[in-house]
């Protein structure tokens, strides 16, 4: 696709211009002219950039802030991004989300905790938001591939490390979402990571810090979440461990405790009442049914069951024919909601 000149220019000014006051003008009619932009408080240089914008080729997909699919949670974010570039399942932006963040230089215990919390969020119908960085971010994404949103501090076409690139590929392949406010070719700088953290905090009902030293970038995300009025939780650790210093400071300042998935349950969809959960039909592996209960791709089901793809395809085709399963956008499958009537 190609972004028109105004939105192309707006994407290059993301984080520098507050476009929210312009939304009524952008939603109705052509893009505002120089006089209207100046009245909105933009500098002469910013006005010139927007008025003289050029067409921006976008290898993937993009939505603007006036798109119906725009996540409402970002309306509260200061200097909200005017454009979001994405690859993967955009519908995840409409699901309840929890951010899981922490140090790049984390401990083995920290990685394990991030995985356990991410699995709990995904298993309860939520979405995990993080930053595709090494360490805690990587562990959280890896444990929730089909229900994860990775917000990048660079454009989607800018180079990643080999490990990040492989994780990004898995996220898209398994039904997750890659997201960036920056034009596709934009490389990361020391400023783009703190900038993207406001999006991570903005998308999530709560932010969980798993491990963070005293000056960890994860604490920036926590502070931004607090500024938005969102809850912040932290995983407690030993006072003797420098990797836990930031988390202990957060707890001392009033952050909630994140010990396991039960501490996150209030931010996620309510579980089904006892006895109300639909049981799998005869002959259907309960593990496959559990994956379908939360929405999964054929590849994910094949991985869990260790089945060949043709066998999973036959199972899903049969369940679709009976009306028990429906196909979702992004080539994912889920149990069809039952009518009480």
Give dist(CA 293, CA 260) in Å, integer: 21
- Which sign, positive or negative, has the C-alpha torsion 15, 16, 17, 18? positive
Confidence of residue 340 (pLDDT cuts 50, 70, 90): very low
101 and 245 inside one domain: yes
Q: What tens digit of pLDDT does each residue of 239-264 get?
A: 988 989 999 999 999 999 999 988 99
What are the beta bridge partners of residue 105?
none
Domain limit, last residue, from 37, 70, 103: 70
- Considering the chain, what percentage of its residues have pLDDT values greater than 70? 94
Task: Please state which of the ranges 141-145, 197-201, 311-315 shows the lowest mean pLDDT.
Answer: 311-315
Pairing of strands 97-101, 206-209: parallel
Q: Count the domains in the chain.
A: 3
Confidence of residue 277 (pLDDT cuts 50, 70, 90): low
According to DSSP H, which parts of the chain are helical? 5-12, 23-27, 34-39, 44-51, 108-123, 136-142, 162-173, 192-203, 218-227, 245-252, 286-294, 298-305, 309-322
Coil/strand/helix, residue 147:
helix
Q: Which residues contact 157 (CB under 8 A, 6 or more apart)?
A: 59, 184, 185
CATH number of the domain where residue 253 is located: 3.40.50.450
Give dist(CA 51, CA 90) in Å, integer: 29
102 and 241 inside one domain: yes
64 and 99 inside one domain: no
- Which sign, positive or negative, has the C-alpha torsion 123, 128, 134, 136? negative
Instruction: State which residues form the domain around 43.
Output: 2-70
Q: What is the pLDDT of residue 338?
A: 52
Give dist(CA 206, CA 98) in Å, integer: 5
147 and 212 inside one domain: yes
Confidence of residue 330 (pLDDT cuts 50, 70, 90): low
Confidence of residue 329 (pLDDT cuts 50, 70, 90): low
Q: Is residue 340 part of a domain?
A: no
Q: Is residue 250 part of a domain?
A: yes
9-18: average pLDDT: 92
Domain limit, last residue, from 39, 70, 101: 70
* Contact of 264 with 120, CB cutoff 8 Å: yes
CATH number of the domain where residue 293 is located: 1.10.10.10
230 and 311 inside one domain: no
Query: Global pTM?
Result: 0.78
277-290: average pLDDT: 79
Give dist(CA 70, CA 48) in Å, integer: 26
């Amino acid at each position: 696709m190609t972004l028109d000149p105004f939105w192309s220019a707006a994407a290059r000014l993301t984080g520098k211009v507050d476009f929210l006051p312009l939304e009524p003008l952008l939603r109705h009619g052509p893009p505002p002219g120089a006089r209207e932009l100046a009245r909105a408080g933009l500098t002469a240089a910013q006005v010139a950039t927007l008025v003289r914008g050029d067409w921006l080729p976008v290898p993937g997909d993009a939505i603007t802030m006036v798109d119906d699919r725009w996540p409402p949670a970002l309306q509260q974010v200061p200097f909200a991004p005017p454009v979001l570039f994405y690859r993967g399942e955009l519908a995840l932006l409409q699901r309840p989300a929890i951010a899981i963040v922490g140090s790049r230089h984390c401990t083995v215990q920290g990685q394990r905790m991030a995985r356990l919390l991410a699995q709990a969020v995904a298993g309860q119908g939520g979405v995990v938001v993080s930053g595709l960085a090494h360490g805690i971010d990587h562990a959280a994404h890896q444990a929730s591939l089909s229900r994860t949103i990775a917000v990048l501090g660079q454009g989607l076409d800018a180079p990643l490390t080999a490990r990040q690139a492989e994780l990004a590929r898995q996220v898209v392949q398994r039904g997750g979402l890659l997201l960036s406010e920056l034009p596709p070719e934009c490389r990361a700088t020391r400023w783009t990571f703190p900038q993207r953290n406001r999006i991570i905090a903005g998308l999530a009902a709560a932010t969980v810090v798993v491990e963070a030293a005293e000056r960890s970038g994860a604490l920036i995300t926590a502070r931004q979440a607090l500024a938005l009025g969102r809850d912040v939780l932290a995983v407690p650790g030993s006072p003797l461990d420098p990797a836990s210093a930031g988390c202990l400071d957060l707890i001392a300042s009033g952050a909630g405790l994140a010990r396991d998935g039960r501490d996150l349950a209030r931010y996620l969809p309510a579980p089904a009442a006892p006895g109300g959960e639909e049981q799998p039909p005869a002959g259907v592996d309960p593990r496959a049914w559990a994956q379908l209960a939360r929405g999964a791709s054929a590849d994910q089901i094949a991985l869990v069951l260790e089945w060949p793809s043709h066998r999973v395809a036959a199972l899903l085709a049969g369940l679709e024919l009976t009306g028990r399963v429906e196909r979702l956008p992004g080539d994912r499958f889920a149990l069809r909601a039952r009518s009480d009537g």
